Chains A and B, each alone.
Chain A
Amino acid sequence: MAPVSLEKINKVYENGFHAVKDLSVNIADGEFMVLVGPSGCGKTTALRMVAGLEDITSGTLLIGGKEANDETPKQRDIAMVFQNYALYPHMTVADNIGFALKLRKLPKDQLRAKVNEAAEILGLTDWLDRKPGQLSGGQRQRVAMGRAIVREPSVFLMDEPLSNLDAKLRVQMRAEVQRIQRRIGVSTIYVTHDQVEAMTMGDRVTVLREGVLQQVDTPQVLYDNPDNIFVAAFIGSPSMNLYDATLGADARSLKLGSQEVDLPESVLLARPALRGYSGKKVVAGLRPEHLPAEADNATGPKLVGDVELIEALGSEQVVHFTIDANRVLAEGAVDKDEAAAVKHGEGVARIGAKIPVKVGDKITFAVSIEDMKFFDEATGLAIRG
């Protein structure tokens, strides 16, 4: 067990591609840290640098307080789980799990005891004599986990270990991986492109974009207080509705397309910097759950939209609507196909399952104005203090 610390880590490939830029993150002892970002954001590269499979161009990597830049993967005492599991097809499950211990020349009886213990934890006892080819996807994933835990490493590294599983199994294994990590208490770095996985699993989450650190914090803080438009759009599903908007002259109102929303004093008190944007353009963000549908006679700020599509989920309805404001798409946060499918001015709201609504209706949303986020139009940074 050891803390891991990355200090201004850079990776520049031979062809000049700068994959990771000045990345600094501290992972506490026993912490479950998730690295998340769209594909090509440098998260896997960062993980491979920690593993020692990739050279560090510049910066310092500390494992257990000791500089590890020039150590071999073996010396770093880490265990890694790969996306494709990388099980040895010609060895049985027991041999796969025990391979690292065999290399350490552990006596046979001890080796068997450790393999059995790991198999017990993972529910693989009945499968120890099988070859990987005879196992299901979930079992293979467990063998890969077993191979990592049996070594009792100081750090676990996981590179999208669940992405080859089907959706149902993934949810199940998500909980299982967490359970095992808690039980063993080893510092873990977990790479994923799936923000749901990141939110549900991580003690803290590191968001990366094009090799640059965007924000590191607990899932809840990332969700409630994103530092910039990218994090706001990337975290959360369905993602945050982001619109171009203009603040009124005294910053007491906000113009979204042709509609105007009053901003109460409390909003400005919480975000004093907002006054500096009086009369200027900003990006306004609202999570889908902050737009509840409301009876026409209710007071408070409102938005009216045209219903385009309704997804009834049983417990709630996800309503896709349009307003005449310009929708902002954070580059890289949503993939290109998804971005192309988003209509001009489209937004998403979560409303109660019982509210009668149908496609083509005009719908009035109450705006939960205290929860609205504001971002600088040019820099994309959150406007707060």
Chain B
Amino acid sequence: MRNRKRVGWHRYVNGVNIAVVVTALFILIPLYWLIASSFKAPNSIGTASLNPNPLSGGNYSDAFVGYDFGIYFRNSVIVCITATALVLILGTLAGYALGRLPMRGKFPTLVILLMISVFPEVAVIAPLYLLMRNLHLLDSYPALIIPYTAFFLPFAIWILRNYFLGIPKEMEETGRIDGASPLRTVWTIVLPQALPGLFTAGIFTFTACWTEFLMALTFNPSNNYRTIPVGIAEFGGNFNVPYGTIFAASVVAVVPIGVLVFIFRKFVISGLTSGAVKG
């Protein structure tokens, strides 16, 4: 009777569901531990207890008051939002051109872009440092915005290009016949349909900027222009590591990413283009 239909909760017990639960726990347990620990009193950090008892906000106030976490947060927001906006604007234009407009050397361009997007950061950090120094850009927002834009643009171009390719060409041709300029066509016809692609590229770029460490550490060493990853790493002194404060700051650092995904998830509507053409 192996094939009898299982009833009650038994029907949920199968290989796929077990794998999902195990994977979810694998990801969620460290996250829970991070959040729980951030609310623990300093002396109970690192103990085995799963719940923060007593509940304490001391770590948070320490991060913002004792250290300059507020400044780091502001810096990260400015750098990441500017770089993401630039990447999306340039990526949209370049992606559309590479996907749709007639031009020579499309394929070599795309291959070079792909190569750049997998380039190891470490290899270019030293020459970039010299370049930034000669341009007198060290310890400034552009010191990070420019390289971030350059580094994350190729990937965004690829994502957006593929999205544009998926939009039926006839839509743009209809636009042309109706008298829309190329820019207008992109803005009113193509972009609304490429929103999921824009969202994906945007989230990727923002997250990559938000967590970038090496360039931030090298180009902006002064406290006033430090971003979150570098800021958190430099918490504490030679002889103590304030784990509680680091946990609290890390939780705050994770929040914007969570908020971003939450706000933009509605734009990722599968089948946005359904009904436009024969389905």
Choose, from B33-41, B79-87, B92-100, B167-175, the stretch at the interface: B167-175
CB-based nearest A residue for B171: A86
* A135 near B275: Cβ-Cβ < 8 Å: yes
Residue from A89, A99, A131, A151 whose CB has the most chain B CB atoms within 10 Å = A89
The 8 A CB mask of B188-223 against A (1 = contact, 0 = none) is 010011000000000000000000000000000000
* A87 near B275: Cβ-Cβ < 8 Å: yes
> Which residues of chain A are near B193, meaning CB under 8 Å?
88-90
* B274 near A89: Cβ-Cβ < 8 Å: yes
| Among candidates A72, A82, A131, residue contacting B170 with C-beta atoms closer than 8 Å | A82
A172 in the interface (beta carbon within 8 A): no
CB-based nearest B residue for A86: B170
CB-based nearest B residue for A48: B173
Taken together as a complex, chains A and B put the C-alpha atoms of A147 and B276 apart, in Å, by 14
> Which residues of chain A are near B189, meaning CB under 8 Å?
88
The 8 A CB mask of A89-114 against B (1 = contact, 0 = none) is 11000000001100110000000000
> Which residues of chain B are near A103, meaning CB under 8 Å?
178-180, 184
B265 in the interface (beta carbon within 8 A): no
The 8 A CB mask of A126-157 against B (1 = contact, 0 = none) is 00000111110100100000010001000000
Choose, from A30-38, A73-81, A232-240, the stretch at the interface: A73-81
| Among candidates A82, A131, A132, residue contacting B173 with C-beta atoms closer than 8 Å | A82
A286 in the interface (beta carbon within 8 A): no
Taken together as a complex, chains A and B put the C-alpha atoms of A53 and B176 apart, in Å, by 8
B18 in the interface (beta carbon within 8 A): no
B259 in the interface (beta carbon within 8 A): no
A89-B275, A133-B274, A135-B275 known; A84-B179 Cβ under 8 A = no
A164 in the interface (beta carbon within 8 A): yes
> Which residues of chain A are near B277, meaning CB under 8 Å?
84-87
A-B contact number at CB 8 A: 79
B25 in the interface (beta carbon within 8 A): no
* B174 near A132: Cβ-Cβ < 8 Å: no
> Which residues of chain A are near B170, meaning CB under 8 Å?
82-84, 86
* B275 near A100: Cβ-Cβ < 8 Å: no
Q: How far, in Å, is B176 (CB) from chain A's closest CB?
A: 5
> Which residues of chain A are near B273, meaning CB under 8 Å?
89
Q: How many residues of B contact A (CB 8 A)?
A: 22
CB-based nearest B residue for A133: B275
| Among candidates A74, A89, A133, A164, residue contacting B278 with C-beta atoms closer than 8 Å | A164
Taken together as a complex, chains A and B put the C-alpha atoms of A165 and B274 apart, in Å, by 16
> Which residues of chain A are near B178, meaning CB under 8 Å?
74, 99-100, 103, 151
The 8 A CB mask of B155-189 against A (1 = contact, 0 = none) is 00000000000001011011011111000100001
> Which residues of chain B are near A88, meaning CB under 8 Å?
171, 189, 192-193, 276
B261 in the interface (beta carbon within 8 A): no
Taken together as a complex, chains A and B put the C-alpha atoms of A73 and B173 apart, in Å, by 9
> Which residues of chain A are near B174, meaning CB under 8 Å?
80, 82, 86, 147
A51 in the interface (beta carbon within 8 A): yes
* B272 near A90: Cβ-Cβ < 8 Å: yes
* B177 near A132: Cβ-Cβ < 8 Å: no
A84-B168, A84-B170, A164-B278 known; A89-B272 Cβ under 8 A = yes
The chain A residues found within 8 Å of chain B, CB to CB, are 51-53, 72-74, 78-80, 82-90, 99-100, 103-104, 131-135, 137, 140, 147, 151, 164
- 29 residue pairs of the A-B complex, CB under 8 angstroms, read A51-B177, A52-B177, A53-B173, A72-B176, A73-B177, A73-B179, A74-B176, A74-B179, A78-B177, A84-B168, A84-B170, A86-B168, A86-B171, A86-B276, A86-B277, A87-B275, A88-B192, A88-B276, A89-B193, A90-B193, A100-B178, A103-B178, A103-B179, A133-B271, A133-B275, A134-B275, A135-B275, A147-B174, A151-B178
